């Protein structure tokens, strides 16, 4: 398994994978002391994530290899169909998967998504539109949704 780190506006992205694909992208507050070399197997992922944060990429074209149960992988695949700049609710996602009663299981699988941003679990909201259930922190979810919004929110007050 190879590892690379990428500085992003939200922290350090830790990218893991091999010749079979990307198995994990997670967000860290600090990068461990590691080489800054990017393994060949991860170069495309690093490049595409940079483009995403620069605002020039809306879709990812990467070989993914997330590890999870059959149900989790089914949910993660459904997440990949949510278009850039759009959001759906957990209930809508459950409906897409064919079982409204599976909403809790769908939410749990969403929370175990191992591939940050590329599998866009940040695009799933509570039924009332609330920002809920984001492992990377709600401040990051809010930032990502704003980043993908066609109408960027601006603050009237400087930080």
- Which residue of the set 121, 124, 144, 145 is catalytic? 121
| H or E element that contains 144 | helix 138-148
Show the DSSP H helices in 14-126 as ranges.
43-54, 70-79, 90-96, 103-111
56 is catalytic: no
- CA distances to 42, 94, 133 from 47, rounded to whole Å, are 9, 32, 28
Tokens of 152: 């960027």
Which of 5, 42, 6, 36 shows the shortest CA–CA distance to 22?
42
Q: Which residues are catalytic?
A: 121
């Amino acid at each position: 398994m190879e590892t690379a780190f990428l500085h992003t506006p939200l922290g350090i992205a830790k990218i893991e994978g091999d010749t079979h694909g990307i198995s994990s992208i997670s967000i860290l507050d600090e990068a461990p002391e590691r080489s800054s070399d990017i393994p060949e197997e991860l170069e495309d992922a690093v490049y595409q994530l940079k483009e995403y944060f620069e605002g020039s990429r809306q879709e990812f074209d990467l070989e993914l290899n997330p590890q999870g149960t059959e149900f989790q992988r089914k949910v993660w695949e459904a997440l990949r169909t949510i278009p850039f700049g759009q959001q759906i609710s957990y209930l809508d996602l459950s409906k897409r998967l064919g079982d409204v009663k599976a909403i809790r299981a769908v939410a749990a699988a969403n929370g175990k998504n191992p591939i940050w941003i590329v599998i866009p679990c940040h695009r799933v909201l509570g039924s009332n539109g609330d920002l809920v259930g984001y492992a990377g922190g709600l401040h990051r979810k809010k930032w990502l949704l704003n980043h993908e919004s066609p109408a960027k929110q601006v603050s009237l007050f400087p930080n």
